[in-house]
Structure 1
Amino acid sequence: MDKQTVVVLFGGRSSEHSISSATAGGVLAAIDRDRYAVIPVGITREGAFVLEQDDPEKFALDAARMPEVVDNGTRIRWPEAGGDRMLRVVAPDGSLVQLGEVDVVLPILHGAHGEDGTIQGYFDTLELPYAGGGVLDSAMCMDKHFMKVALEADGIAVAPWVTVRERAWRADSARLRAAIAELGMPVFVKPARAGSSVGVSKVAHLGELDAALEVAFAEDEKVLVETGIVGREIEVAILEGAEGVRASLPGEIVLTSRGFYDFEGKYLGGEGVEVVCPAALDEEQIAAVQRVGVRAFEAVDGKGLARVDVFLTAEGEIVVNELNTMPGFTPISMFPKCWIASGLSYSELISELIEGGLRR
């Protein structure tokens, strides 16, 4: 059987460029080479599409030297809608080289210009099949405000919040400060459209609010201030397969000394946090978390995959924190760990995502 050609697309213009590149290292190492021919395409921090080396080690996660896509002078030429699916590259000397006909794109981009529906819309316009989230669910889940609005409208519990726009904060901080005070302390301050805990702060008292907002405003002019929910941090992986949507065994983020699950804890192996999968839950709790995960996925018109993060309170309430439509695939990421614990290998998981894109 002929191999199908998969473009693995990574990097990007967002602050999560290095995490996307590290995810690419994991995917390039694990993708089934007997089934798929791989063309690695990187996006530089400036937004240039370049032909990359098919070398997992080049993009290995290293806290001392985070991987990135560097402009090597090549330029990818995507197929045009209505024509063939031939992917071409302009070499540094100006010559045009054919790389092969593309069957599907696997975008493993995190953050703006990749996880927010923009690249999905681009490939829809080019009529190129792609794996993962679609335009609507990607855009909605990238914006935590509208994600919460959609979940709340479907009757799904979310943490109380106040949305703060930078212009409104500069014009009338007193009104917004009063609304935030009503949430109680502690609160979490998050950029509305960033991921990987970039720009996130935990605020124990109002005196810390201004500094936390400035950190968040550096990432986005729209920021969410959320009530801190006391409960276990549970995450469940969602996958849309040929037979429908299913949920993995849930995992748990166990904080031993770290204040919250921040960037260092997620990706750099920082002390004070453990990623445990499967979580120590009884059968009823597992089923409840899985039901909420699938329901949240469907509430945002989810496509392909998502990781649904929830809080499980002492009273048994499940509060959805957020959905990630392109969760990390790094060696210590929860999404692949949950599926591995559920009986699906890393390589099989990648294949399911690719096949989902081909079906679409």
Structure 2
Amino acid sequence: MAKKLRVGVVFGGRSGEHEVSLRSAASILQSMDRKKYDVVPIGIAKNGQWLAGGKAQSLLAGEYRQPALPAKATRRQAHAAAVASVAEALDNETADEMSALDTGKLDVVFPVLHGTFGEDGTVQGMLEMAGIAYVGSGVLGSAVGMDKDAMKTMFAAAGLPIVKHVTLFRSEWKASPRKCTARVEERLKYPVFVKPANLGSSVGISKVKTRAELRPAINEAAKFDRKIVIEEGVGGAGRARATGKARELEIAVLGNDDPIASVVGEIVPDREFYDYESKYDASSTSEPVIPAKISRAESKQMREMAVRAFRACDLSGLARVDFLMEAADLASAKPAKIYVNEVNTMPGFTSISMYPKLWEASGIAYSELIDRLIQLALERHAERTHTSFSKE
């Protein structure tokens, strides 16, 4: 019988998507074949503390209560405590509860972390330094996939169609809101979408229809990042432009250097756009449509674009590529324009999330998808051994 792989599943994290990560990890842990894998749950609390054993399970169940710092503790002290927990977690001489986190005992890590401090290249860099295989994109791909401004630069360089946009720094917005507003209005038409450059799950995103709404929207986005991306809304073409609403389409991509694309899916949001509440609120009636009701030519075009976007950002393992399609103008023979909106390098991974559902519709079941991702991680790690890092 083949030796079981020891897989560390990391979840939680410091980002605003902490709870989403817990849901994704719970589904993955439940579906992993224990005949193939020796699974090690590894939690990261909201304060950055790394947890294993019973504490990790408690975090996963939403029952963990992180120890309170002294009342006068500074942010620096809180950060130091979090860093100390990582050092302790990676120390061979720690207590039994933490010893499972020793990277030498893990064959591969599945970082089921969404958003900042997990999906943005930070954890990936740590795992690279530790010399351990891990699921998903590397440092560059993860960082680019998180930064909507850098991502669009990569898309444009690859010749992919993107919506008009303006990027502002929080510092220049604070220094001169009037100049920034003039710059946005000079280049873009309302409605626009205001977003933090580095965040996911639609946190901090606002749809802005007038100048009066722009300032509070930028202030909201600026809470979450030093860079703010403002995008011109996609409506329709011709007669449909004034009243049309963009279609939100998604494709799952799987692979390393030779990736494949799933069928196309569509999200029909229950609000003006697919915001955080529309995604995760229990009352949401947003509906996924898989496969999307589009033509074969449109499907082929989008799948090719998805693979190009994946490669443009130097991604590996998995990603969900999101598109915007103009509302159709029935009075015109011109095809609706399709834009690449963004990539998500660690998309939601519950059994009912779009990424697994798209692959299920494409013939790859949830448990098989997990197997493939782990194998892709090991393949990429093995390929890295052919790279020399010094002259000796």
Give 2:133's match in structure 1, choosing from 122, 129, 136: 129
Q: How big is each residue's C-alpha offset from its partner over 1:179-223, in whole Å with a ceiling of 9 and x where there is no partner?
A: 212311111010000100011111111110111111111111211
Alpha carbons 1:29, 1:56 under 8 Å: kept: no
Give the aligned partner of residue 350 of structure 1: 370
Matches within 5 A, 1:107-146: 107-146=111-150
2-structure distance, mates of 1:263, 1:195: 9
Q: Computing the radius of gyration over CA atoms, which structure comes out larger, 1 or 2? A: 2
For 1:334, which of 338, 351, 354 is the aligned residue? 354
**Partner of 2:220 in structure 1?**
215
Task: Name the amino acid aligned to 1:130.
Answer: Y
Structure 2: distance between partners of 1:278 and 1:141: 25
Partner of 1:189: 194
One of 264, 267, 276 as aligned partner of 1:253: 267
Alignment root-mean-square deviation, CA: 2.6
Distance 1:260 1:68, change over 3 A: farther
Q: How many residues align?
A: 344
Q: Is the 8 A contact 2:119 2:142 kept in 1?
A: yes
| Paired position in structure 2 for 1:84 | none
Aligned-partner Cα distance in 2 for 1:280–1:98? 46
Shift of 1:265: 1.5
1:42–1:101 Cα change, 3 Å: same
Inter-partner Cα distance in structure 2 for 1:72 and 1:351: 36
Matched, 1:268 2:276: no
175-184 vs 1-10, greater mean Cα deviation: 175-184
Moved more, 340-349 or 178-187: 178-187
Deviations 1:274-307 (A, max 9, x none): 1222111222111111000000000111111110
Contact preservation (8 Å) 1:89, 1:97: no
Gaps of 5+ in 2: 69-83, 236-245, 329-334, 381-392
Shift of 1:224: 0.6
Structure 1 residues 54 and 248, CA gap change in structure 2 (3 angstroms): farther
Secondary structure in structure 2 of the residue aligned to 1:179:
helix
For residues 56-110 of structure 1, the C-alpha deviation after alignment (integer angstroms, 9 at most, x for no partner) is 89747xxxxxx47654899565668xxxxxx775358xx9678882100000111
CA distance in 1, matches of 2:21, 2:63: 9
The separation in 2 between residues aligned to 1:140 and 1:44, in whole angstroms, is: 25
Cα distance in 1 for residues equivalent to 2:198 and 2:93: 32
Read off the aligned partner of 2:168 and give its amino acid letter: V
Q: Which deviates the most, 227-236 or 265-274?
A: 265-274
Structure 1 runs of 4+ with >6 Å offset:
54-58, 97-100
Deviations 1:291-331 (A, max 9, x none): 00000000111111110000122333220110000101124
TM-score normalised by length of structure 1? 0.88
Does the Cα contact within 8 Å between 2:43 and 2:59 map onto a contact in 1? no
The answer to whether the 8 Å contact 2:135/2:317 transfers is yes
Aligned residue among 297, 302, 319 for 1:284: 297
Spell out the pairing of 1:48-197 with structure 2 (5 A cutoff): 48-53=49-54, 59=60, 67=62, 70-71=65-66, 77=88, 90=95, 101-182=105-186, 183-197=188-202
| CA distance in structure 1 between the partners assigned to 2:55 and 2:48 by the alignment | 20
Identity %: 42
Q: How far apart, in 1, do the equivalents of 2:291 and 2:59 lie?
A: 31
Tell me what 1:226 maps to: 231
The aligned amino acid for 1:34 is K
- Residues 1:235 and 2:250 aligned together: yes
Question: Cα distance, 1:144 vs. partner?
Answer: 0.5
Residues 185 and 320 of structure 1, relative CA distance in 2, 3 Å threshold? same
- CA distance in 2 between partners of 1:103 and 1:261 (Å): 37
- Of Structure 1 and Structure 2, which has the larger fraction of its residues in strand? 1
Query: Take 1:352 and 1:97, find their aligned partners in 2: how far apart are those partners?
Result: 24
Equivalent pair of 1:16/1:195 in contact (CA under 8 Å): yes
* C-alpha distance in 2 between matches for 1:89 and 1:347: 33
Alpha-carbon distance between aligned partners in 2 of 1:323 and 1:88, rounded to the nearest angstrom: 40
Q: Compared with structure 1, are the counterparts of its residues 68 and 292 closer, same or farther at alpha carbon in structure 2 (3 Å cutoff)?
A: farther
- Aligned residue number for residue 9 of structure 1: 10
Q: Secondary structure at the match of 1:236?
A: strand
- What letter matches 2:290 in structure 1? C
Unaligned runs of 5+ in 1: 61-66, 81-86
Out of 317, 320, 325, which is 1:307 matched to?
320
| Alpha-carbon shift at residue 272 of structure 1 (Å) | 4.2
Whole-angstrom distance in 2 between the partners of 1:97 and 1:132: 22
For 2:359 and 2:336, the matched residues in 1 are separated by 24
- Using structure 2 for the length normalisation, give the TM-score: 0.82
